[in-house]
Amino acid sequence: MEWLSALAGLLVGLVVGVTGVGGGSLMSPILILLFGVAPATAVGTDLWFAAVTKTVGGAIHHRHDNADWQVARRLWLGSIPATLATLWWLWSHHRAAEKGGLIVTVLGAALVLSALFTPFRARLVARAARSDGGGLRRWQPALTVAAGALLGALITLTSVGAGALGASLLLLLYPVRLTPKRLVGTDILHAVPVALIGGIGHAMIGNIDLALLGALLAGSVPGVAIGSTLAARVSDRVVTPALALVLLVVGVRLLV
């Protein structure tokens, strides 16, 4: 079981490093569907997994100047308060959220949305770039904070939000400013403190499996390091459709 967990961590780490898609988009469903982990524990464990792997990936992207700190700070203004508010709600309604299937339902819906956004990101970017006038730039800070709040709540509740959804929102808001490399680096950088705060909160609630986390990290740390280094060499024409299909299938499986 431990070597399977390490292998899962390695594969997810590679995907995170290459595409910037959050580990929760793949790891939480893997833990729930294949390993039979309780949804809340899967989310809590995966948030710690994401915090460590994204710290490694974020450091590498920062070293290569692939991150926009101003955009990340705007996201944090919304995401960190939303993370704390979501943790408070989970603390108060923990059993109801798990028994009612809320976590699994929101997780499945987030994956389906991520899958639908992923293959159309290029078209969205082209359209947003053509209409990138002064009005959009004027509202960029406020809209970025709002996007951060949405992502913070989703990441804390389901460990999904960074990656496909986060990247799509950033592309719509900054179609010209964020190049593909800086998009991935900024998205990963933003997710680090959000995942860490969310992981601490879930640990206080009791939603974490330390043995499972150790096995996942054993594979993911080298995986995300390799993926971040290879990010510029992998063709989106192959990765994007395949990733969208996987997210769609897993999201639908969680919903049904």
Helix (H) or strand (E) holding 67: none
CA distance 168 to 188: 13
**Average pLDDT for residues 38-65, to the nearest whole number?**
78
Write the single-letter amino acid at 243.
L
Q: Identify the H or E element spanning 162.
A: none
- For residue 76, what pLDDT is reported? 96
CA distance 181 to 167: 11
CA-to-CA separations, 108 to 29, 55, 87, 118, 135, in angstroms, rounded = 9, 26, 20, 15, 35
The pLDDT of residue 129 is above 70: no
Question: pLDDT tens across 1-51, in order?
Answer: 566 777 777 777 677 666 655 555 777 888 888 778 888 888 888 888 778
Of the candidates 168, 132, 127, 174, the residue with the CA atom closest to the CA atom of residue 150: 168
pLDDT digits (tens, 9 = 90+) for 70-99: 999 999 999 999 999 999 998 887 666 666
pLDDT score recorded for residue 124 = 64
Decide if pLDDT at 222 tops 60. yes
pLDDT in the model for residue 121: 64
Looking at residue 130, its pLDDT comes to 61
The pLDDT, as a whole number, for residue 36 is: 82
Phi/psi of residue 231, nearest 5 degrees: -55, -40
Please determine, for residue 206, whether its predicted confidence score (pLDDT) is greater than 80: yes
pLDDT at 52 over 90: no
Instruction: Report the interhelical angle of 164-173 vs 121-130 (nearest 10°).
Output: 20
pTM, rounded to two decimals? 0.79
In this predicted structure, what is the pLDDT of residue 80? 96
Confidence (pLDDT) at 143:
92
Average pLDDT, the chain: 78
Q: What's 232's DSSP letter?
A: G
Bigger pLDDT: 130 or 200? 200
Cα torsion at 38, 40, 46, 51 (round to 10°)? Answer: -160
**How far does CA 234 lie from the centroid of its chain?**
20
Q: Provide the pLDDT for residue 84.
A: 96
What's the pLDDT at 82?
96
**What is the predicted pLDDT for the residue at 223?**
75
pLDDT score of 201 more than 90:
yes
Closest listed residue to residue 228, CA positions, set 22, 69, 54: 54
Separation CA 78–CA 146 (nearest Å):
6
Q: With pLDDT > 70 as the criterion, what percentage of the chain qualifies?
A: 73
Q: Does the pLDDT of residue 139 top 70, yes or no?
A: yes
CA nearest 51: which of 223, 217, 206? Answer: 217
Q: Quickly state the pLDDT bin for 115 (edges 50, 70, 90).
A: confident
| Alpha carbon separation from 207 to 47, 58, 157, 244 (Å, rounded) | 10, 25, 12, 28
Largest CA-CA distance found in the chain, in angstroms, rounded:
55
